[in-house]
Structure 1
Amino acid sequence: MTFPFRVSLLSAAALANRIDELAEVLVDCVQGGASVSFMLPFSHDKARDFWHGVAQSAAREERVVFVAENDAGRIVGTVQLITAQPDNQPHRADVAKLLVHRQARRGGAARELMALLETEARKRGKNVLVLDTATGSDAERFYLRHEWQRAGEIPRYALNPDGSYCATTYFFKQL
């Protein structure tokens, strides 16, 4: 099943104007159990604070934010490419917070977001991407299906939003 959507890079200025939409996606994912750094209860205000920080980082050109918008122009998914790395790693970038609203999942938004992210990473001279995700999650299976290489797992790395422990799996991809 696919849903009508389009993916794009969101400028730092545009990002600052769409904080509420991004916060809605983040709140939905956390409430749905995604282990993406936040605990329940998780408020819209806390999500807004997170996205304000991301907007500031994007304005400093430390990261790039991509979005998937539905046919009504609402953001239903997002992912970040963190390009600011130490001096000895100019060829590498981190991938963070691939989030798709539960109502828009399984329609190809995550796949298209990641394809656009990889294209942009190449344009910026990045040829190694790194990310981590909750072990055993749908996200882990997604990355395995899309040619990411599993680097290893750390047990009891973080907490799920409900407070239970979860392991994390690290992945990398050579572009």
Structure 2
Amino acid sequence: MKTNKFLTSITIALIFSVSLNVNAQDFSGLDKSPMDVASFPSSYKVSDKLIKIAYSRPQLKGRSMEELAPAGKVWRTGANEAAELTLYTDMMLGGTKVEAGTYTFYVIPGEKEWTAIINTDLNVWGSYFYKQENDVARLAVPVSEGKESLEAFSIAFEESKDGVHMHLGWGNMRIAVPFTK
């Protein structure tokens, strides 16, 4: 009889503690710079991707792009964590072969060109811990001007005759980073 009461008491205590944990769970609100993923091919129905990038999408909100991504300084390519680029096949960035794998993707903004950087460091916040010695490839790409202004930083891929172009846009700034096979 005492064993039954003891087991019943323990069972009730366990159920109560589990239910408290479920009810006490804190869920954070939406991030001010939400994460997004762009890939090629872009259809979610295609699982055989060539390239994918996970990044956060800061918004201008009345600020200048130069405030948020200063010229001449390494930028994380978005907000929060540094953007993570995954290549599912070996590709070329400029004249440098980049093996399939996951990397960080940084840029250095400039007035007439931006430098695209593929780096081996992973799981890094921003560009605060960027180490140039871990760069795998760099390529300077020209800046062009878009017809419409984009409030949120955006990345999209487009097939090209020799590979894939990764388009970055924010405000009226546009750049295309060519990845070739």
Please confirm whether the aligned pair reaches a TM-score higher than 0.5, indicating the same fold. no
More helix by share: 1
TM-score (norm 2): 0.28
More strand by share: 2
CA radius of gyration, larger in: 2
TM-score (norm 1): 0.28
Higher relative contact order (CA 8 A, sep 6+): 1
